[in-house]
Amino acid sequence: MRLNLTHFLLISLLLLLSSCDNEQQQIDTSSIEIDLNFKRFEVELFALAEDTITAKELDGLQDKFPKLYPLYVEAVMGFGTAGSEEAQNILNRFTADVDIKELFQVVLKEYPVESLKGEINQIEEGFKRFKYLFPNKSTPELKTLVTALTYNTVVGDSLLAIGLDMYLGGDFPIYPQANIPKYKFERFSRDYLVSDAVKAWIITEFESEGGRTLLEEMIFQGKILYLVEKCLPSLEQHILFSYFPQELNWCEENEAEIWFHFIDMELLYTVENHLIQKYLGDAPFIAGFPEGSPGRVGQWVGYQIVDAYMENNSEVDIFQLMSNEDANLILQKSRYKPKR
| pLDDT tens by residue, the chain, 340 residues | 344 444 434 434 434 443 443 343 467 898 999 999 999 999 999 999 988 999 999 999 999 999 999 999 999 999 999 999 999 999 999 999 999 999 999 999 999 999 999 999 999 999 999 999 999 999 999 999 999 999 999 999 999 999 999 999 999 999 999 999 999 999 999 999 999 999 999 999 998 766 789 999 999 999 999 999 999 999 999 999 999 999 999 999 999 999 999 999 999 999 999 999 999 999 999 998 988 999 999 999 999 999 999 999 999 999 999 999 999 999 999 999 998 7
Number of domain units in the chain = 2
- Examine residue 177 and state whether it is found in any structural domain, yes or no: yes
- In terms of Cα–Cα distance, which of 50, 194, 169 is closest to 106? 169
Could you tell me which of 305, 224, 321, 220 has the C-alpha nearest to residue 262?
305
Nearest in space to 254 (alpha carbons), one of 213, 200, 209, 304: 304
Residues 6+ apart with CB under 8 A from 270: 213, 214, 276
Domain boundary among 205, 220, 244: 205
Residue span of the structural domain in which 274 resides = 208-334
Last residue of a domain, one of 178, 205, 232: 205
Shared domain for 133 and 60, answered yes or no, is: yes
Answer whether 88's CB lies under 8 Å from 77's CB: no
pTM for this predicted structure: 0.90
Q: Identify whether residues 179 and 49 lie together within a single domain.
A: yes
Domain boundary residue, one of 185, 205, 225: 205
